[in-house]
Structure 1
């Protein structure tokens, strides 16, 4: 009854579980449909899902993968692989190539955020292997772009450039022009670091052409400014021509106004042109809007202001800017040191965790091997036992059949002897004492045999044959044995038994 109640309760709860799982699958589907265009909405939907109501491994893996994707697209840098590990473990065993590629890609993103270069490369490599068997060129572009960034951070510029080239090709096949332009920008930056300014300008022009085509105007000015600084200003080109070309770009892309973020560039241009007032004004604008600039930009502004005041002969003010510059740089360096310490600690923890994971994995593999060997040995013993039991049963059955046949033969012999005894009885000379004694001995022996045959009906054949043989062996000298027959035969047939015993001792 307890089993019946349990089954009924499961049937009652089953529709509720299916309904909850169905609702969660619907939420996950909605989040996935919003992921590319509205990643913030996708993240909001996923965060409102009660993970405790996810009952299937497939839904759990899908939830983990979409959550990881939404966090990454919303620029939330996650350093723990607790989510991505769920997706990787499931999709490695049950997923499609695309799902495996996605899971390993976002796990690589987590490792990149944690500063674990080796683990990130391994994950991206697994993602690329899986994605290579699909037509998801966009994902292949993301993977190559991510790998290129890792090599760029390691200052492996040749490999970074190669990966950016692959990324641009895949984004072009995927018809993702914005990402394709970003890949060209990355190639231009790497080319500049490699001393190839012509290559930089070539790649930037490709990106600019794409930005103009898709209307991403705000992305164009920084590229032109970068080109001006690195290919013309740093090599001492005509400052008037540089300012003229820059203003032409501003007129085309920014309504003729100098962007706030470009004030540092113009501060440097004015300083080179010895237009100190204009250079100082640009610096003041930057300091007035310091919240819009990074610490490095502020430090650069102080450095240029120090040079401006030195050129003006205002040494106290120049000294003040030097101290401000030193203070900002000390703050930056302190932050770098703290970040470096944290990064090293994170890498150390990651290495320990990876080593622990590898040790645990190796231990689990050994346990599986040992368990497999034990099961194989147990199975071998079981099979051997079954074969032995089968052989024993066959032998026992054979012995039973042999004993049955022997018992049947004995019964048949007993009946034949009984018939022969009846014939002998009809011929016995009752007046002859020796013949009468021989018949009585035979009749007595026949009674014993009949009794044994009767016992055979109630005894196991093997036990009967053993008891019968024991009886015949142990009781040969009893009154029921053959001693009387030997005496009668000797008397009737002139001592033939004694003669045989004397001349043929091997006879029994």
Structure 2
């Protein structure tokens, strides 16, 4: 009898406890069920839960995780990690791996929002470790995607591409079209940065991604694919297509944080189609962004438009603002810290993995070092062989071009002599002149090819690439290099520097600047070669136009005058 009474009392107590804490738990579970398909509803539901309803540490941790997740899915920027830390501490103590993985993932997202990328990577690496234990490919895919995005922001394209490949495979495995489109779009952006030879491959991938995004009817996926396509078509000088996809990106963009980047893209597309009024509207909208790279891009295009419109003072002002925001953006880059973080995380992982058996750890370390050194020696020898082969090929190519140039010169001289000595009819003379024009065109093409393979041109390209990567270069343009550039320019453009110096009182430094204007190098890169600011380049250009050449037409550029002088 006593046992029955005791059991009844115990059952009643458990029932009361269960009823007391079932309501918030039920609400949290219900919010969790809405998270994937309707994150806005989940967020509203969670905001209706009062703090006093969360009576246990488990409920508080679960709520902290869900509210952080809901705000992230609704594109709400979170920079305060005090709430997610509650979830992390609780799930670490209970070793609840599924929620541990999510908690560390969203902690990493908050660190990412604060631009603390090294710390974000640490959290993401821990999250990946937990996700792997669960074989949760979907969550692992999103974590890898965020890791790759951080590498991309820090201009670590090689590392980013390798991680995006993992993300792409996981997205296909989990049939997550949104994640797949995101990974493909980002990999295509890396291809675009590699150069023209990768454009076709990028276009194929992006058109396929865009087609799938339209079938999914997910606006943010359409926006991502359209953004990448517009950027690609802008690089391919297909202005009309660039404008169309830039508009599609803006029309389908749900995330207001990246909308300003879309304005910059559309403004740039309008600029490339010479629709400057439309370009100005969207470029000025992009200036409201808080991102320094976006602002810098907008100011650069505004400077270009001002220069084309002959507003040199405004162009200089825009250039200064461009430089200022680029400096601010570059100061925020943490590439070296990220690489150090990555190495530290790998070291910690290895130490944990081999802690139980140090001998095995040392064995793998030594074996790895031997393999690395062997591979290094093999690659180094192969590299040296390829360099020697490349130099030999370059010498042969220069020799071949020289022989062809000599042949063309002889043909041109012979044809000119024949025209002068013989009395041909007008029709015959016209045919001979056309033949002479073709020979001169072929000769100019050979000179251009010879120039692009010249040491001075290759050195200029190396210096520019070094500045773009590290904002400095170990190489500098010497007096001998300038002499070689002048010689190459005169050979290519019929002694143009001599003719310029004869006609205008140009200094040697101004002749150097004119030579740069006759290359295909963008004006913004002249400062790397001349080792001065963009401001100084514009002032020198203005001085040549106004004081030396005495050009009063504000719409005429120095490049226009030089091209007319050829």
Task: Work out which of the residue numbers 223, 227, 238 in structure 2 matches 1:222.
Answer: 227
The equivalent of 2:206 in structure 1 is 204
Indicate conservation of the 8 Å contact 2:287/2:298, yes or no: no
* In structure 1, C-alpha distance between the alignment counterparts of 2:79 and 2:108, rounded to whole Å: 10
8 Å Cα contact 2:230/2:246 also seen in 1: no
The Cα offsets for residues 484-508 of structure 1, whole Å up to 9 and x where unpaired, read as: xxxxxxxxxxxxxxxxxxxxxxxxx
Number of residue pairs matched? Answer: 309
1:77 is paired with a residue whose SS is coil
Distance in 1, Cα, partners of 2:279 & 2:116: 39
Residues 263, 85 of structure 1: alpha-carbon distance in 2 compared, 3 angstrom cutoff: closer
Structure 1 Cα separation of the partners of residues 248 and 73 of structure 2: 32
Q: Distance in 1 between matches of 2:286 and 2:246?
A: 22
Structure 1, unpaired ranges of 5+: 1-9, 234-241, 272-278, 311-316, 352-508
Q: Please name the residue that 1:175 is paired with.
A: 175
Which residue is equivalent to 1:26? 26
The yes-or-no answer on 1:61 pairing with 2:61 is yes
2: distance between equivalents of 1:39 and 1:208?
24
Structure 2 Cα separation of the partners of residues 260 and 126 of structure 1 = 36
1:154 correspondence with 2:154: yes
Secondary structure, aligned partner of 2:309 = helix
Change in 2 beyond 3 A, CA 1:18/1:334:
farther
In 1, distance between residues paired with 2:104 and 2:115? 16
Contact kept? 2:307, 2:315, Cα under 8 Å: no
Structure 2 CA distance for partners of 1:91 and 1:301, relative to 1, 3 Å: same
Quick one: structure 1 residues 18 and 289, their matched pair in 2 at CA, closer, same or farther if it must change by over 3 Å? Answer: same
Shift of 1:38: 2.2
User: Residue 264 of structure 1 is aligned with which of 236, 245, 267?
Assistant: 267
Distance 1:244 1:71, change over 3 A: closer
CA drift at 1:144:
0.7
Contact map agreement 1:305 1:318 (CA 8 A) in 2: no
Deviation at 1:270, TM superposition (A): 3.6
The whole-number CA distance in structure 1 between the counterparts of 2:228 and 2:34 is 31
User: Which residue of 1 is the match for residue 347 of structure 2?
Assistant: none
Deviation per residue, 1:432-459 (Å, 9 max, x gap):
xxxxxxxxxxxxxxxxxxxxxxxxxxxx
TM-superposition CA deviations, 1:9-46 (whole Å, max 9, x none): x9999877644421111211121112122222222322
Deviations 1:356-399 (A, max 9, x none): xxxxxxxxxxxxxxxxxxxxxxxxxxxxxxxxxxxxxxxxxxxx
SS at match of 1:98: helix
Q: How many angstroms apart in 1 are the aligned matches of 2:159 and 2:249? A: 34
Q: What is the deviation of 1:203?
A: 3.5
Q: Looking at both structures, which has the greater relative contact order when contacts are Cα pairs under 8 Å and sequence separation is at least 6?
A: 2
Cα distance per residue 1:290-338 (max 9 Å; x no partner) = 788764454244213212213xxxxxx44234335545765x469759x
Find the counterpart in structure 1 of residue 317 from structure 2: 323
Report how far residue 160 of structure 1 moved: 1.0
- Give the distance between the partners of 2:67 and 2:31, measured in 1 at CA: 9
1:299 aligned residue: 299
| 1:267–1:304 CA contact under 8 A, matched in 2 | no
For 1:251 and 1:103, how far apart are their aligned partners in 2? 37
Measure the CA separation in 2 of the matches of 1:60 and 1:169: 36
TM-score of the pair, normalised by structure 2: 0.47
Q: CA 1:111–1:246 in 2, change beyond 3 Å: closer, same or farther?
A: closer
Q: RMSD over aligned Cα, in angstroms?
A: 4.1
Distance in 1 (CA, whole Å) between partners of 2:285 and 2:78 is 31
- Judged with a 3 Å threshold, the aligned counterparts in structure 2 of structure 1 residues 303 and 167 are, in CA distance, closer, same or farther, namely same
Q: Contact 1:24/1:54 (CA < 8 Å) preserved in 2?
A: yes
Q: Does the 8 Å CA contact 1:295/1:328 hold for their aligned counterparts? A: yes
Which moves more between the two structures, 152-161 or 246-255?
246-255
**Partners of 1:42 and 1:70 within 8 A in 2:** yes
Instruction: Using the TM superposition, give the Cα deviation of residue 82 of structure 1 relative to its aligned residue in structure 2, in angstroms.
Output: 2.4
**CA–CA distance in structure 1, aligned partners of residues 327 and 239 of structure 2:** 37
User: 2:106 aligns to what?
Assistant: 106
Q: Which runs of 5+ in 2 are unaligned?
A: 1-9, 252-261, 342-566
Q: 1:148 deviation in Å?
A: 0.9
Between the aligned partners of 1:165 and 1:290, the Cα distance in structure 2 is: 31
> In structure 2, do the counterparts of structure 1 residues 220 and 285 end up closer, same or farther at CA, with 3 Å as the change threshold?
same
Deviation at 1:143, TM superposition (A): 0.9
Calculate the TM-score normalised by the size of structure 1. Answer: 0.51
Distance in 1, Cα, partners of 2:188 & 2:93: 41
Spell out, residue by residue over 1:111-146, the C-alpha distance to the aligned partner (whole angstroms, 9 max, x if none). Answer: 323344343323222221221133432101111101
Answer yes or no: is the 8 Å Cα contact 1:211–1:220 preserved in 2. Answer: yes
Alignment check: 8 A CA contact 1:168 1:179 kept: yes
